[in-house]
Amino acid sequence: MEPRESFEHLRKEHLEILRLTEQIQDALSLASREDFPMRQKGLTDLRALHHGLIGISQHCGSEEGILESEYHHYLDGQKYERISAQHEGISRLIASLLKDLPLVTADSVVEVVPRGEDLVAQIREHVAYEEEMLGYIENLGAWSKARPVSA
């Protein structure tokens, strides 16, 4: 896949991740309410996002994949390590949340809200950083002519 195609694909993936993040935030907002039916709806909505959470986790696990290799090839160690560390943190939070969601009740869902809010914040920060790094790579001087760092 050409770098331009990879970048376009990553940007589409980022948009989808941000869309899912908004849905997570909306569900967390409901789950944190005092009103029991709203908390119950928030919990139901969080559980319905299981597939989307798995997708975000897969994004984080694709570091060595074709798309993520653009970062690996063009970024220095510190920049690439930051992306890797963010992926690891997000994956850990998602795994924890997915493990707990089947056991949570509408009465106890407020206990997972802070972890969910942390996840939302980390995802947003991560997507912003990856977008910044895509721009950085594109500005290296016509990335099609740029030399990969690892080459």
Overall number of domains in the chain:
1
pLDDT tens-digit map of 15-31: 999 999 999 999 999 99
- 3-class SS string, the chain: CCHHHHHHHHHHHHHHHHHHHHHHHHHHHHHCCCCHHHHHHHHHHHHHCHHHHHHHHHHHCCCCCCCCHHHHHHCCHHHHHHHHHHHHHHHHHHHHHHHHHHHCCCCCHHHCHHHHHHHHHHHHHHHHHHHHHHHHHHCCCCCCCCCCCCC
Q: What pLDDT band is residue 69 in, cutting at 50, 70 and 90?
A: low
Residue 92 lies in a domain: yes
pLDDT tens-digit map of 82-127: 988 999 999 999 999 999 999 999 999 999 999 999 999 999 999 9
Residue 46 lies in a domain: yes
Residue 7 lies in a domain: yes
Which range of 3-7, 97-101, 146-150 scores highest in mean pLDDT? It is 97-101
> What per-residue confidence (pLDDT) applies to 61?
80
68 pLDDT exceeds 90? no
Provide the residue range defining the domain that includes 28.
Answer: 3-138
> What per-residue confidence (pLDDT) applies to 23?
98
